[in-house]
Structure 1
Amino acid sequence: MRHFYLLLFFLCSLVNAQVVQDDFEGGGTITSWYGDNCGMNINYANPYQQGINTSNTVLEYSDVGGQYANVQFDVNTNFDLTVKNSFSLKIYVPSSGLTGNQTNQISLKLQDKNLAQPWTTQSEIIKPIALNAWQEVTFDFENDNYINLDGNSPPPVQRTDFNRVVIQVNGENNYDYVLAYLDDVLYYDSISTDPIYDNLVWSDEFDGSGAIDTNKWFMQTQLIAGDSWANGEQQHYTNRIDNAYRDNGSLKIVAKGETYTDQGVTKNYTSARLNSKFSFKNGRVEIRAKLPSIAGTWPAMWLLGKNINEDGGYWDNQGFGTTSWPACGEIDIMEPNIAKNQILATWHWDNGNGYMYDSNSIATSNADTSQNFHIYELVWSEQNMKIYMDGTLINQLTTVDPFNQEFYILLNVAMGGNLGGPIQSGFNQDTMEIDYVRVYQESTLSVSDINLDDNILVFPNPATDILNIKISNTSQHHGTLQVLDVAGRLVTQKQFNINNTTLVYDTSALNAGIYFMKLEFDNNTSNTFKFIKE
């Protein structure tokens, strides 16, 4: 076996993909820079040769107080965001070059230059910036939060009409001055560094019928706030099969209108609240469910820190309850609003700076969410947390303390309260139906899987920009490639189909480091290699 450090390759067609870049040193491909109501100099001596940018020449951007200002450029061939989805640039804004109190930010807008009013269908990403330092800012139109000026426009990665880039510092509709310097503008394909959670570590498919699996779930019943639950809720949670059971391959959590006395307190509604007997840190939670529809029901799929000090909770009963809410942290994967026409994704926490929360929503309909199954998903890494509905990103948050510890899953239907709202008169019962709950974490790459055939040659290695891969075996020109980081996390997966013996790959989009590539050929052979990107 040969021992090579091998760099990955993509499709051969990517070699000829659109190149859009400018370092303002004379070698860029952008020739149509234009200052729109903005002073612009694309051959300006870098006044701050420091930090991450010691180049000689930059673009000077000077907004001298008009209502709006920007710099922009056009391309002859429309952007194909399915091939390359991201833009990056470096920016320096000296505090001495600003007036007013605008939010320090930079936005990148994609437009169709062929329209009489190109901005009407634009898609925009806004990023915060700091002052008095060079920084690199990226705009990922596949994964970042974007703003479509026309709400009927599809996601930007589904469009092929963009051919203009507009860059704007500190917004518009103000008359403040802005002086900024830009450098190293690049259009490229971003490679996600998020972990890939594909190893199923815990689940409940709710097969069979009857009572829930008590090896996996605990039915929490003890009132937590004197004679009630939090948030003005009006139900008793019980451990009865009437309120939570398996039937026809799914879990049914049933809220009922009935008089029920427990712990010396009488209430007019019952339901169930399940705690998972499994806790974890980082991973992907996937829940497929139908929601109740009747006014006053408040279904939730969520997580709490395992260390929450909540009398009667499963993990508190096990001796882990040391921290009060919200310092324990809370992640709400799914909660509907009172009108049941939005799904909310929310975080609550306190890391020593007082109570904090971050919430966002996606439009839906009561009829849809109650009559059809949807997938609600949390992807939680050491870097960030993202919540999706049917693959559409609802909200994301940087992983801050206390979201760096083990959490457990809760499933419940409350009655009334802050997000239940007024309960429908004569309420009888309603159900949240859950098809499955699954938790995935990272797979690991075994060193024993690394092998290299003699008919594959890679050069140069390590590579800084271009890598050549020569495959002499004519039966190994079609298949699937996977690129993994050193922890075995999948970085990307592509199909390849080449007609000659040598592939050429531009490595500029990769961060420096060590990677593995696995080639699975159509002739049922495979190879896994290690490579270095400088």
Structure 2
Amino acid sequence: MRKKILSIILTTTMVLGLIPCIPCVNQVKAESSWKLVWSDEFNGDSLNTDVWTRETGGSGWGNNELQYYTDRTDNSYVSDGTLKIVAKRENYSNCRFTSARLKTAGKKSFKYGKMEARIKVNGGNQDGVWPAFWMMGDDGTAWPWCGELDIMEHANSRNYVEGTIHWNAGGSSYNTPYNHIFWGSYSVPAYYYYSDNNNGINGWHTYGVIWDENTIKWYVDNNIYLTAYLNDDNAYAFRKNHYFLLNLALGSNATGYTGNIAPNDSFQSATMEVDYVRAYSGSGELNPDGGSSQPDTDGYKSVPDKAVTTVGDCTLYAGSWDNGAMSYKGSKLSDLSIKLNSTSGNAGTWGTQLKYPMNLVQGKKYNVTLKFNSTNAGNMHWKNEGENDSVDLGTVQYNVNAGINTKTLQITADSKNTAVMEMSGMPAGTVIDNISISSVQEADSATTEKPTDAATTTEKVTETPTTHKVIDVDWSGVKYLEDGAEGGKLVNKYKAYCESDKVNIVNIQKNADGASVIYITFPVAVSSTTAEEAKIDGAGVGFPVDSVKEGQNLFKVTLADNSTYDVYLYEEPVKATTALPTTTQAPTTAAPTEKATTAVPTTQA
């Protein structure tokens, strides 16, 4: 939240800034030494006012909020082991709603460690509802000079929560002009997406940060999704004690954080329940052994941060520098299931990777096919790298559909060859499984001698070699083209394959200019293709037969809904190919590709 606390006196002179940091890949395990130093478990029957203060007021709190914060037990109380903060519709002191905001300022504050709370918000996915768990500097300076650390914020029916830090650019001296800066989930972007979509905020979740003098890491349910890297020379606002705040705000049509959305007429109340607030001292990762693979409750093991993890015949990598975090179960590629706990949301930043070595013959051409199932739609980069991760044999970015996906990339083999599946553009919470990576060598051009008899000469005849690309598919399910009104003579001469069973190969027919085209229909209108085409009836496309004769037979089609398809067309005969045996080569342990970014913190006056 951007809260403006203007009544506190400015006292200290410090400077803050934020720089991105791309740490090196390593496999060193850090020691964890967390020690609980304070907690409120809310086990009594009243709020502990020796720790918490109820703030009051209805001035909008710098965000044009609609509620009046009261000190009444109607709006904040403890019962049945939890703290309740209740926002409700009622006329009170010139406001249409009431709620509560609690803080530990001047009573309990902490510097560094692990800070967390277990929270749910009943009715939290209603318009205008804005719960927050956060901290502010406890040294008496005004906002934003004091520094603000937002551990969890949520608004409306969003299926994610986020974290943010706020400070004043240029330091906290009396002579430093107001220059509010914030950085966080919005800047990267990197949010934590609930697996249960819009009902996520209504369920119990643990929200926290791991905070030291150089970094702040945000997590939900032990999944780190965002990291801020601070600088020794300018992190003044986060190298001092901070106190806790808990509140449940209601935005208006002029509240930026809620998207200028206010509660609608049906809103009556929402309740933020807090099971506990805890502060730990020490250092380390979330897992007790410092971040090594630990099983989750669903049987997945977490991938250590910035370390190459070998899983049978493949390797996995996740880097928190790019907000990458994932877990897995399985012992090899064929039974591997990957869960993306957090990602940057940007395809091609290489924060989450699967690598699979292939045993190919150097200099030969191959079609390498990736198949997998995904629970969500998103974007990926699919790459084949050579001797090391700086040798790019071919990279493509493509849209991923929820469900089964197939992608083929043609390469010329290097001395070493590794297939790389880059998943940074997929949403957090995605599960990817049923993964297969296969490679098929293209047929070499060759000459064959025709048999002769006594009635013929012994002349050698050379067949024209096919120049068509072939792919590793089950051709038993591929239809020959059916007869068309203008294409009877071409029946059974061509065949076609598409990665989707939603695509119908129809027939051969004449284009408007008289040229023969292979006509294919799609579920929605065609947007574009890689070839000159004739669009028919809005949802069909005709590929010129002459293009196939010339040797071009792989066409990429983009539809109006941005889904993409590879269409392969063939003129008989097609030379047979044999898939190479599955590799037994030991998996590589080369450092994954990392693409550095130098994002500048977003500035807002």
Classify the TM-score, shorter chain. 0.3 to 0.5
The answer to which structure has the higher strand fraction is 1
TM-score, normalisation: structure 1: 0.43
Select the structure with the greater relative contact order (CA < 8 A; seq sep ≥ 6): 1
